[in-house]
Structure 1
Amino acid sequence: MTTTYYAEETRPARRRGRRVLITLLVLLVVLGGVLVAGDRVAANFAEKKIAEQVSQQVAAQKVQSGPPEVSVGGFPFLTQVVAGEYEKITIGLPDVKGDVEGNTVSLPRLDLVAHNVVASIDTLRSGQGDIVAKTVDGSTTIGYDEVAKLINQPDIELSEREGKLWVTAPVQIPLVNQTFTVRGAAELSVEGRQIRIQLKEATADGLPAVPLAQQVVENFIKNTSIAFDLPVLPFKMELKQVSPTADGLAVTATATEVPLNG
């Protein structure tokens, strides 16, 4: 009788324990949803305010672009907003237009990544105060048509081949009164705000076996070094590296201790 009485009494207790556990799980799920929603609201707030400040700063630096697309990285967002410190903020600037010696140069997009950004809640709310990034890394691609326009050589053709910049250009040789097409690889380098293209390995199609003609082509290859400026990038970023891609020259730039607002 003792054994039967004990089993009957524990069954309701077990059912009550399950109900308590289920209730706690439901509360945790609801609380988690509330926290996630609050986190997203905080992120949206920060993204909107930072986008407004960045847009004003870019305009002040005379760089034209579409509305900035801002995304706050890291998790949770809410603690970052409260602390006023953000691990990573990505900023996309579409349809960038800059000036180089009176010529408008178009960049389809400039992508920026700001690291360790300090921006207090009061600054975001009022727009007064500093929003500063420890570092900002930028990347963009300048199309080959834009490069040809910058170097003022519309007849030159640029492309990427096996990871190298490939140059195709006409060369006129007065000795035989003919124009020949020179093709070959070029090296890319960065010097300050300039990108330099140095022709290194090239051959001429159908070049006659005339020593003087061959010398003209060799001199052309040796002396073909073209430098051109990029438009001024926002936040005083300095060029870091350039490499050829199928779509154009991929350019990276960087800056430190960057104010993202005015």
Structure 2
Amino acid sequence: MSTYPAYSDDLAHPARPRRRWGRRLLAVGVVLLLILAILLVVADRVAIAYAERAVAEQVSQEIARQNIESSPPEVSISGFPFLTQVAGGRYQSVSIVLRDVTGAVNGNSVRLPELDVDARDVRASLDSLRTGQGEITAATVHGNATIAYDSVVQLIEQPGLRLAEQDGRLGVTAPVEILGQQVTLTGVADLEVADGEVLLRFDDLNAEGLPGNDAARVFIDAYAQQISIAVPLPELPFQLDLQEVEVAPAGLVVTATAQDVPLNQVA
């Protein structure tokens, strides 16, 4: 029979209660950190929503000053965490979308279904956002605007003429009467940008079933010159300067850029 004294369970495992308290404290610490992280994310989102509304309001005032009509600006500010950007007064990227943009050019109304603007390295103090008194500027601004085809057709002023994207080019169809015969002319345009305008040039129009005589060719060439026009654009906001044009299903998409641009009008 053993003569060794019996040890109690508490004496055999004296560190167990301390380990339990340590685990509990660790769990509480993790929960507190998660709560703090959630609160910071919520505060970040609230701050960014406030800043987006402030920028949208000031952009609205700026485009109204330029006599440009559009739906309310849709503003999105990128970058996380946002609060550090607020503290520094510098924002990585501000996206501005203007829809149904309309401006007058030489007595005609030119409609841009959408103008997408990407402003980079935007500088705006918290006081500027809060009061609207300080200047908001962007180091670079890149914009894409769509010119609706119906606006271009309105400028050409030829009955029945239609414009549409055709294999990446601007295609035209137009009903005309040539030598007493009703035909439909078809062709594509060459596009270029010059002096803030989009130039449309139709050099090669054709009509099926039309005799290939000189009189018909003279008429077709004259009609091609009539519909070859310069499409002026309304003054674009943010000092955007037209750079290039592409053809898309919704219209002509023009690209414009600017540098060191104020996004608002300081009183």
TM-score in same-fold range (> 0.5): yes
Q: Distance in 2 between matches of 1:179 and 1:230?
A: 34
Matched-pair contact (CA < 8 Å) for 2:103–2:109 = yes
Alpha-carbon displacement from aligned partner over 1:108-159 (angstroms, at most 9, x marks no partner): 2222111111111122222222111111111222221111012223432111
What's the secondary structure of 2:68's corresponding residue?
coil
Do the aligned partners of residues 84 and 107 (structure 1) sit closer, same or farther apart at CA in structure 2, a change above 3 Å counting? Answer: same
* Of 173, 180, 183, the match for 1:177: 180
Matched-pair contact (CA < 8 Å) for 1:167–1:185 = yes
Q: Which residue of 1 aligns with 2:246?
A: 243
* Of 152, 158, 165, the match for 1:153: 158
Q: Which residue of 1 aligns with 2:45?
A: 40
What's the secondary structure of 1:203's corresponding residue?
coil
Q: Distance in 2 between matches of 1:168 and 1:64?
A: 31
* Of 176, 183, 198, the match for 2:201: 198
| Structure 2: gaps of 5 or more residues | 1-5
Cα distance, 1:237 vs structure 2: 1.0
Cα distance, 1:41 vs structure 2: 2.0
Matched-pair contact (CA < 8 Å) for 1:207–1:214 = no
Q: Which residue of 2 aligns with 1:260?
A: 263
State how 1:87-126 maps to structure 2 within 5 Å: 87-126=92-131
What's the secondary structure of 1:136's corresponding residue?
strand
Q: How many residues align?
A: 260
Do the aligned partners of residues 22 and 154 (structure 1) sit closer, same or farther apart at CA in structure 2, a change above 3 Å counting? Answer: farther
Matched-pair contact (CA < 8 Å) for 2:203–2:221 = no
Q: Which residue of 2 aligns with 1:131?
A: 136
Q: 2:249 aligned with 1:231, yes or no?
A: no
What's the secondary structure of 1:207's corresponding residue?
coil
What's the secondary structure of 1:204's corresponding residue?
coil
Q: 2:70 aligned with 1:65, yes or no?
A: yes
TM-score (norm 2): 0.87
Q: Distance in 1 between matches of 2:109 and 2:239?
A: 19
Matched-pair contact (CA < 8 Å) for 1:171–1:217 = no
Do the aligned partners of residues 109 and 224 (structure 1) sit closer, same or farther apart at CA in structure 2, a change above 3 Å counting? Answer: closer
* Bigger Rg, structure 1 or 2: 2
| Structure 1: gaps of 5 or more residues | none
Q: Distance in 2 between matches of 1:36 and 1:137?
A: 30
Cα distance, 1:83 vs structure 2: 0.9
Cα distance, 1:223 vs structure 2: 8.0
Q: Distance in 1 between matches of 2:227 and 2:209?
A: 20
Alpha-carbon displacement from aligned partner over 1:196-216 (angstroms, at most 9, x marks no partner): 112244421211143442454
Q: Which residue of 2 aligns with 1:140?
A: 145
Q: Distance in 1 between matches of 2:34 and 2:88?
A: 26
* Of 216, 220, 224, the match for 1:217: 220
Q: Distance in 2 between matches of 1:157 and 1:41?
A: 48
Aligned AA (1:106)? R
What's the secondary structure of 1:249's corresponding residue?
strand
What's the secondary structure of 2:157's corresponding residue?
coil
Aligned AA (1:181)? T
Q: Which residue of 2 aligns with 1:11?
A: 16
Identity of aligned residues (%): 48
* Of 27, 31, 40, the match for 1:22: 27
Alpha-carbon displacement from aligned partner over 1:50-109 (angstroms, at most 9, x marks no partner): 112111111111111122121111111111111111111111222211001112222222
